[in-house]
Chain A
Amino acid sequence: MLPLKEKDKPIVQKLLSAGCCARCILRFCCVRVQAAYRQPQQDTLKELQAFICDTENSKSQDSAASEATEENNKSHDAAVSEAPEEPPTKRVKLEPSGTDAQSEEDAAAAAAAAAVTLKEEESHVCVLCLGILHQFCGASQAVKIAETVKEEKYEFDTLVLSVSLPAQLCVREHSCWLHVKKEVREKGLVLDKDDVIQVKEAFKWIMQGLVAKELGRGVAVVTRSAFEVGVEFIHEATDSDCHFLASACPDCFKPTKNKQSVFTRMAVVKALEKISDARFLKHYPCPPAQPSSCCSLQDVQCVHVSVFVAGRYNKFCRSLPQTPWVIDGERRMESSVEELIAAPILSAFRADGFNFSSSGREDVDVRTLGNGRPFAMELLNPHKSRLSRAEMKQLQETINKSSDKIRVRDLQVVSREAMSRMKEGEEEKTKSYTALIWTQKPIEREEITFIDDIKELTLDQKTPLRVLHRRALAVRQRVIHSMNTRFLDPHHFYLGLKTQAGTYIKEFVHGDFGRTKPNLCELLKTDTDILELDVESVDVDWPPVIPE
């Protein structure tokens, strides 16, 4: 028995005549009992036809149904997806057996119902959902969705189903709402357009269980999951159905670069909020006209939310950029730090792509030694999202064996939130460097020792000319906390520096046309240049150290 009340009768009658499918009628009667949508569409249709023909027992039936509705409304939240509902057969048995006899008693209603049945058989396409709750809701569609998911070989325990619908469904919904507004409002004071069950919702109620069953392996289809299976429907007449809205509310439909059509769901909803009922009715049939065709299933797309991996890297090579180096569309170096690290990680997580970030970066000719530089990677659409500690260790070894130019440690899966800790307070962090310095004038061992005594030296650094083409021009203050020197020969010495993060070391050494002040040329009163630079440590205490 469908949870319908006497007051639903005119709604059911009007919508049946308009060419709505049985499930759409349940939606407009605000039925929130999921099982009612899951039973075979033909059974529901028969019940609805019987319901409008039946005038005699209506009173007693109504009160019973009303109780059932309330009870079901209370319990519907708990019944979401995972809980297997009663099998549909049980529902079918509940159908009143005396339908035919009763319908004969009311000739007029029977004729209406017969006409509706005929219409249903002739056209097959619901004027409201354009077939989504009818042709596209069933076991065979669930098999199709499940097959697509299986093909991609994702590893997951739960999934969430999402539906994308053609925009004119909103227009048709609005038209139908205007058609039965009076009747729906009479059901109860508080009912409004928003109380009509959405096509999306009904689709999920029907399909979630079926898809889960097809996937097997204890997979649950739930309302919240890291793994999303999106089902996209389109309809050939979306533009022509929505076109009148563009002339009525032109400001809602501004062409955008990325979208193929201006009639996006958002824009259509916005326009429908603006347009007056009178104006709408002038331009669009109410109830909506018979569609020429059914929707089509455009695509089933699987997306897993990103997984984040962090660690620290060493760079031992002076001809390796951190990221791919491309000038004028041409690749300059054959590899990069991020590619060497990313390749094994991408294949372990079977991800589609990645975004690499790190705590600062070094130039192509700079090595990063010591404990290395913290980095983090966002892995896009990973097909495998969980690796055990042992698997992560194995992955780290794979990376380290793949190249002697880099080395990785502390490799671990982290949360998106934790990633921000890497960038937090980056300016306050200190970095240690060793630079090989060349001096134009010959120097003596004791001539450079005064540098060891310089503490907390504040520099005014104009944006270096070498990066000025891509960064804003500014003067930044940076602090060199301490320095030490190691004499090599009359033209060379090693300079150790402990600095505030963001200090440009090369410019401090050669002065950058006097644009970094003070600089080493000034301190030593000769031209100086930097021949080699190593990062000795990046003092960021994230990610956590993993004991070897």
Chain B
Amino acid sequence: MDGIEQKETEENAPSVIDRYYTRWYRADMKGKPCEDHCILQHSNRICVVTLAETHPILQNGRTIKSINYQISNGCSRLNNKVSGKSKRGGQFLTDFAPLCRITCTDESEYTIYSCIRGRLLEVNENILERPALLLEKPFTEGYIAVILPKFEESKSITENLLSREEFESIISKRNVAESQPS
């Protein structure tokens, strides 16, 4: 159920995401500079993993060559199936579990990670057919995966993540550092 919202008449009404989700971030994932991830958490504890706006894939006019959910010889996220209300059978992910690998036309390759512990509910198959979605709408239709944290961990999983303010302050420092001559 959604919260109660005041009728928004302004043009700069909050986006659908901001109305229903809290944004969390992970900066420089696995120590790789600027590989920032974003996690959208719904009040019902469900999380959607997306690229952060600062991720290299979204910079410098890159285009995507391929997206691969086959993360090892034995494991493809495409084989993930959940059944019933209890979501039996979903792959269980830890913070650093890879979700997919994305190769850009400039041959740069990036791995997208889960960032949180939880059960994988679905991956976004639409971006396989239309990789451009990832670039055009990275926070909505270009999402990577949906993860359901354990009920008892629904509060603690965000402890390791950055709030929007914390993330923005990191980004502004990063920009300052980049602009300074070394």
A residues with CB within 8 A of B: 318-319, 321, 325, 363-365, 436, 438, 442, 462, 465-473, 489, 491-492, 506, 510-511, 513-514, 527, 529, 531-532
Query: CB within 8 Å of A: which of B37-53?
Result: 42, 44-46, 48
Given A365-B5, A466-B44, A529-B13, 20 more pairs with CB closer than 8 A:
A318-B4, A325-B1, A363-B1, A363-B2, A364-B1, A365-B3, A462-B122, A469-B45, A469-B148, A470-B85, A472-B83, A472-B84, A473-B87, A491-B11, A510-B16, A513-B140, A513-B143, A514-B140, A529-B19, A531-B8
CA distance A472 to B87 in the complex (A): 7
Beta-carbon contact of B9 and A472 below 8 Å: no
Chain B interface extent, by class: 35 or more
Which residues from chain B contact A467 at a C-beta distance below 8 Å? 44
B residues with CB within 8 A of A: 1-5, 7-9, 11, 13, 15-16, 19-20, 42, 44-46, 48, 82-85, 87, 121-122, 124, 126, 133, 137, 140-141, 143, 146, 148
Contact partner, A469, options B46, B48, B126, B140, Cβ 8 Å: B46
Which residues from chain A contact B3 at a C-beta distance below 8 Å? 365
Beta-carbon contact of A531 and B5 below 8 Å: yes
Which residues from chain A contact B4 at a C-beta distance below 8 Å? 318-319, 364-365
Q: Given A514-B126, A514-B133, answer yes or no on A532-B143 (Cβ-Cβ < 8 Å).
A: no
Most interface-central of B3, B16, B20, B48 (chain A CB within 10 A): B16
Beta-carbon contact of A466 and B1 below 8 Å: yes
CA distance A438 to B14 in the complex (A): 11
- B2 CB to closest chain A CB (Å) equals 6
CA distance A531 to B14 in the complex (A): 11
The 9 closest A-B pairs by CB, nearest first: A514-B141, A469-B44, A510-B16, A529-B16, A365-B4, A364-B1, A319-B4, A363-B1, A513-B143
Beta-carbon contact of B146 and A527 below 8 Å: no
CA distance A472 to B122 in the complex (A): 12
Beta-carbon contact of B85 and A472 below 8 Å: yes
- B118 CB to closest chain A CB (Å) equals 11
Beta-carbon contact of A466 and B48 below 8 Å: no
CA distance A532 to B46 in the complex (A): 24
Which residues from chain B contact A529 at a C-beta distance below 8 Å? 13, 15-16, 19
- B15 CB to closest chain A CB (Å) equals 7
Which residues from chain A contact B137 at a C-beta distance below 8 Å? 514
CA distance A292 to B140 in the complex (A): 77
- A125 CB to closest chain B CB (Å) equals 53
CA distance A325 to B2 in the complex (A): 12
CA distance A438 to B9 in the complex (A): 8
Beta-carbon contact of B7 and A364 below 8 Å: no
Which residues from chain B contact A473 at a C-beta distance below 8 Å? 82, 87, 121-122
Beta-carbon contact of A321 and B1 below 8 Å: yes
- B115 CB to closest chain A CB (Å) equals 17
19 sampled A-B residue pairs with Cβ under 8 A? A363-B2, A365-B1, A365-B4, A436-B7, A465-B146, A466-B2, A468-B121, A471-B85, A472-B82, A473-B121, A491-B9, A511-B16, A513-B140, A513-B141, A513-B143, A514-B133, A514-B141, A527-B140, A529-B16
CA distance A140 to B156 in the complex (A): 64
- B110 CB to closest chain A CB (Å) equals 21
- A333 CB to closest chain B CB (Å) equals 9
Which residues from chain B contact A325 at a C-beta distance below 8 Å? 1
In the complex formed, the residue of A with least CB distance to B20 is A466
CA distance A532 to B13 in the complex (A): 14
CA distance A365 to B19 in the complex (A): 14
- B130 CB to closest chain A CB (Å) equals 10
Which residues from chain B contact A491 at a C-beta distance below 8 Å? 9, 11, 13
CA distance A325 to B45 in the complex (A): 16
- B69 CB to closest chain A CB (Å) equals 17
CA distance A514 to B146 in the complex (A): 13
- B129 CB to closest chain A CB (Å) equals 11
Which residues from chain A contact B83 at a C-beta distance below 8 Å? 472
- B56 CB to closest chain A CB (Å) equals 23
Which residues from chain A contact B87 at a C-beta distance below 8 Å? 472-473
Which residues from chain B contact A472 at a C-beta distance below 8 Å? 82-85, 87
Beta-carbon contact of B48 and A513 below 8 Å: yes
Beta-carbon contact of B141 and A511 below 8 Å: yes
- B21 CB to closest chain A CB (Å) equals 9
CA distance A473 to B121 in the complex (A): 8
Beta-carbon contact of B48 and A527 below 8 Å: no
Which residues from chain B contact A468 at a C-beta distance below 8 Å? 44, 46, 121, 146, 148
- A435 CB to closest chain B CB (Å) equals 13
CA distance A52 to B170 in the complex (A): 105
CA distance A543 to B87 in the complex (A): 37
Beta-carbon contact of B8 and A365 below 8 Å: no
Which residues from chain B contact A465 at a C-beta distance below 8 Å? 42, 44, 46, 48, 146
Beta-carbon contact of A506 and B2 below 8 Å: yes
Contact partner, A364, options B2, B19, B85, B126, Cβ 8 Å: B2
In the complex formed, the residue of B with least CB distance to A470 is B85
Beta-carbon contact of A527 and B16 below 8 Å: yes
- B167 CB to closest chain A CB (Å) equals 21
In the complex formed, the residue of A with least CB distance to B87 is A473
- B120 CB to closest chain A CB (Å) equals 11
In the complex formed, the residue of A with least CB distance to B86 is A472
Contact partner, A532, options B7, B85, B121, Cβ 8 Å: B7
In the complex formed, the residue of A with least CB distance to B121 is A473
Which residues from chain B contact A365 at a C-beta distance below 8 Å? 1-5
- A506 CB to closest chain B CB (Å) equals 7
In the complex formed, the residue of A with least CB distance to B44 is A469
In the complex formed, the residue of A with least CB distance to B127 is A514
- A328 CB to closest chain B CB (Å) equals 9
Which residues from chain B contact A462 at a C-beta distance below 8 Å? 122
CA distance A436 to B148 in the complex (A): 31
Which residues from chain A contact B44 at a C-beta distance below 8 Å? 465-470
Beta-carbon contact of A511 and B146 below 8 Å: no
- B51 CB to closest chain A CB (Å) equals 14
CA distance A465 to B49 in the complex (A): 13
Beta-carbon contact of A438 and B1 below 8 Å: no
CA distance A183 to B114 in the complex (A): 80
CA distance A491 to B5 in the complex (A): 17
Which residues from chain A contact B84 at a C-beta distance below 8 Å? 472
CA distance A438 to B19 in the complex (A): 13
CA distance A470 to B86 in the complex (A): 8
CA distance A133 to B51 in the complex (A): 79
- A41 CB to closest chain B CB (Å) equals 59
